[in-house]
Amino acid sequence: MGYRRLQLSVFLLIGLCLSPVPPVLAEEDGLNDVKMPLLREALRDSDALAQAWFRIRAGDVAGARRDLQALVRSDPRNPDALHLYGIAAAAAGRQAASVRALKKSVRIRPDGWVGLHLTNLYLDAGRLRPAERLVRRLEESMGSNVQVRQARAFLLVAQGELLAARDRFQSLEADEASAAAAAQLAALHGELGEDDEAVVALLRAVERAPESSSYRRRYFEALVRANDWSTLAESAAEPEGQIVGGALHLYYGGLAALELRKRDRGIQLLQSLVSMPEAESVALAAAAALLYRTDAWDASEAASRAFLDREPEEAGLHHLLAMSLSRQQRESEALAHYRRAAELRRKDADLQFALFVSLCDLELVEELDDRMPRALREFREDLRFGKLAEQCLPQDDE
């Protein structure tokens, strides 16, 4: 079980700390969406803190960290300055400095958000004992706090107590009813093999945050794991399906169509994906592989070439392109890509063997004879090379 799949990533802390607040409840100062109540009020009371916050949000993490360092030096017992410095330090990759600041902040003034951020830093570093001590201390002082309960749930995940963690996340979602809570619960359902439950939870996340591409992608992936091809086909075809971005809705729609035995429709959708300028590389690669398995080798060739135009050093796609060309009886053209794949991953026995097979098919005996001794040494436990040598190279008469 990977804790990272469920953790609150340090580098997404700013996003997690944002939540819309109706304008009638707060003045229009650009801080309405700060989810952490104590820090939000501190930002409103301090121009220096607010400016550091806006620098973080603008992507100037290093500048914000320098400003906050100065603030912490001048006011070392300000829990809000320490909290914000901890966020900035973590986002800058300075985890030790972040831990120090957050520990001091939560000692001065217990706060669920500070405790949650610090817990996740501990867990990200594999430090379960200090995480346990921190969570226990927070539970004693503010046990009903939502963020403290989240911290306990993440700690249970890290400890391998998945069923107990699931119960915690279910309780949290019942109380909070947020997209993030539903998505965290879905990840745990998936880890426990509860694919249908994961689909239902992610659907709630999508409904609560319909503009989120991340939740929708995870929803589509959950439908794949659950083999719910009809729902996937319908969801990918809806206008909202395009929110996944990168033309991935066409990939998921094509996959679902093929699984539903609608081959022509599936190929049509995947070919449409290849022609989309916004198509992500991952979508092109996935489409190329799927088209190859569907025996649509010319379409797989097009998808592979589109991918390699962007990422020419990807050995797997050179190999896939070579196989598509071989299937189209274009072995001489395929050889160039078998060569490139083998060159990029010299220690990969499968890619080396594929090159040797191509050399054999083209009767390039001299090159094959030159390469074979080294392959027999490097892959001595792989019997394929010896058998191919017997088949393709002239044998000495005894």
Q: What pLDDT shows up at residue 30?
A: 77
Say if CB 142 and CB 112 are below 8 A apart: yes
* Alpha carbons 10 and 350: distance in angstroms, whole number: 39
Give the residue-averaged pLDDT of 34-57. Answer: 92
Element (H, E) at 62: helix 61-74
- 18 bridge partner residues: 34
**For 161-221, CATH number?**
1.25.40
CATH for 1-159 is 1.25.40.10
Q: What is the pLDDT of residue 32?
A: 81
Residue-level pLDDT at 29: 67
60, exposed or middle or buried, with CB in 10 Å at 0-12, 13-18, 19+? middle
- pLDDT tops 70 at residue 11: no
Residue recorded with tokens 């699931």: 166
Sorted by where each begins, the domain ranges of the chain are 1-159, 161-221, 228-311
Of 13-17, 70-74, 257-261, 292-296, give the lowest mean pLDDT range: 13-17
Q: Answer whether 258's CB lies under 8 Å from 299's CB.
A: no
CA quadruple 129, 36, 8, 109: dihedral, nearest 10: -10
Tokens 């198509």 -> residue: 279
Q: What is the mean pLDDT of the chain?
A: 90
pTM: 0.78
Interval 287-323: pLDDT, tens = 999 999 999 999 999 999 999 999 999 999 999 999 9
- Please indicate whether the domains covering 1-159 and 161-221 agree at the CATH topology level: yes
Compute the Cα dihedral for 209, 211, 212, 217 and give only its sign.
positive
